[in-house]
Structure 1
Amino acid sequence: MSANTLSRRALLLGASASLVVPAVAQAAPLPDSLATPEVNRRNISSFATQDWRDHFESLGVGAIVCDTVSRALHFWSEDGSDYRIYPTSVPRTDELTKRGYTQIVRKKVAPSWTPTASMMERFPEWKPVAGGAPENPLGSHALYLSWPAYLIHGTHDTRKIGRPSSDGCIGLYNEKIEELYAIAKIGTQVRLI
């Protein structure tokens, strides 16, 4: 009878071990030779880090790269000690996307919004919105670029972040544009890629 009891115990221990081993194996990291390379899935969590030297000769008073593919804004302070990445909204189409070099020429808290002429052609019902209004598409803060009608700004509509949803601007969560507004200086160089 003790042989049967031992067999039952062995069977139960063996079954328990077979449940534990896969969990332990899943927790163990793969060796480098078996690891697969990272894949850019083009969502809010697929940021690819950038190096400012790939875009600018020097940092000047600071630098920003707006990556429309990974939908991220990269910021470097003037001495390079502060590097931050923010999720963004990006233009809906390539026709609305301006790429190249520009800079921050003006900053505004509670900016007012007026639709551009091309917006009015497409959406004649759109009307200007006062700064600070909850329905203001520019959100709480705006960084104006040297290109007319192109901004880096906040948004009250958080569904837009991580998606192609703007008419050309780069949008950030209101709390993130407030943070960037505080550290980005007039003259900060900007590149949209």
Structure 2
Amino acid sequence: MKVVAYVAVGVMGLATPVLAAPQDLNLETVNKAEWTAEAGKGKEIDPALVKTQVLLDRARFSPGVIDGHNGENLRNAIKAFEKERGLKPDGTLDEEFWAKLKEASSEPALVEYTIQDVDVKGPFVTVPDKLEDQARLDRLGYSGPDELLAEKFHMDVDLLKALNPGKAFDKPGTSIVVANVDAQSAPEKPEKADKIEIVKSQHVLRVLDKGGTVVAVYPASIGSEEKPAPSGSHRVRAVAPNPNYTYNPDYAFKGVKAKEKFEIKPGPNNPVGSTWIDLSIESFGIHGTPEPEKVGKAYSQGCVRLTNWDVEELSKMVEKGTPVEFID
């Protein structure tokens, strides 16, 4: 399906600092990690936080990119989980929260994965920064096997590399350590969402079932001061996997000189990512992103941006007519 997505995709916000990884970061230390009062207070990748993020991801309280750091997306995911489990929703990684989280799944947070032929066959591309240059590509694919594998397991590339020092990600048959996001004990996905709520002040999108229970929470980049997201009630109009992106010169993006509309081909590094959920607001939707690490941390310039894996999961829960409410 071809989608004409007239959305601004400029990013504004603070960059995530590159932090160090401890020497004892490995499959065993993460899987055996337990809560302590010091969890998440250091600057290095924290094994306990990696485990926390994986377990939250499996429970569909998404922390966004699994990176082992304590950020706003993780705190929002903890807060949402606490609220649905009857705990004080303060977003704090404490002993009571930890006990409830471990009850949700008993399978290991990290597992070994053997790189497959499909993971390395490509074609991979060097994605230009300028939209006009991106329009010259036949597909906006992954930049390499490391990016593909990181996204496949909802991980930050730096965490993937830290867990697999010296490993070559371009060789089939190589065994690597990855986040166990598809554990068998993960809750079944609801067949259909009864309602979507987009909470602008919290930078989250919530999925509710027919009983009003929150069954999934995803971090989201929602509008900006210059181009704020709408308010009120709307509906899903259509779902388009692998959408094209059409640049509208009326937006006059900084650095884009084109005066005519042009189209960028599909792919995970397309400006609207791997999936477009069209809403009953002209040129507005919920979509993925080529920069998952910035979701919830930077403005989307209007639309609602999720990680590619979260919007793909959401797309399977919505249908034409699903209510979508923007909450101020």
Q: TM-score, normalised by structure 2?
A: 0.40
Is the contact between residue 93 and residue 164 of structure 1 (CA under 8 Å) also seen in structure 2? no
Is the contact between residue 73 and residue 88 of structure 1 (CA under 8 Å) also seen in structure 2? yes
Q: 1:80 to 1:158 in 2, by over 3 A?
A: same
CA distance in 1, matches of 2:230, 2:204: 16
CA distance in 1, matches of 2:213, 2:237: 23
1:148 Cα deviation after fit: 0.7
Secondary structure class of the residue paired with 2:311: helix
Question: Which has more strand, going by share of residues?
Answer: 1
Q: 1:99 to 1:62 in 2, by over 3 A?
A: same
Secondary structure class of the residue paired with 1:183: coil
Opposite residue 141 of structure 1, the aligned amino acid is T
Q: Which of structures 1 and 2 has the bigger CA Rg?
A: 1
1:28-77 Cα offsets, whole Å, 9 max, x none, are: xxxxxxxxxxxxxx9213435489xxxxxxxx961111112111100013
1:70-125 Cα offsets, whole Å, 9 max, x none, are: 11100013454661101111212254321221110110000111123432365533
Paired position in structure 1 for 2:73: 44
Uncovered stretches (5+) of structure 2, i.e. residues with no partner: 1-36, 39-70, 85-191
Within the candidate set 131, 142, 153, 2:287 is matched to 153
Counterparts of 1:1-193 in structure 2, within 5 Å, are 43-47=72-76, 49=80, 62-80=194-212, 83-93=215-225, 95-120=227-252, 122-125=254-257, 127-132=262-267, 134-193=268-327
CA distance in 2, matches of 1:149, 1:114: 10
Opposite residue 307 of structure 2, the aligned amino acid is Y
Opposite residue 139 of structure 1, the aligned amino acid is G
Q: 1:117 to 1:179 in 2, by over 3 A?
A: same
Is the contact between residue 226 and residue 301 of structure 2 (CA under 8 Å) also seen in structure 1? no
1:132-165 Cα offsets, whole Å, 9 max, x none, are: 2x43111111110000111101112113211232
Secondary structure class of the residue paired with 1:139: coil
Uncovered stretches (5+) of structure 1, i.e. residues with no partner: 1-25, 28-41, 52-59
CA distance in 1, matches of 2:253, 2:289: 23
Is the contact between residue 152 and residue 172 of structure 1 (CA under 8 Å) also seen in structure 2? yes
Opposite residue 74 of structure 2, the aligned amino acid is S
Is the contact between residue 64 and residue 188 of structure 1 (CA under 8 Å) also seen in structure 2? yes
CA distance in 1, matches of 2:213, 2:253: 45
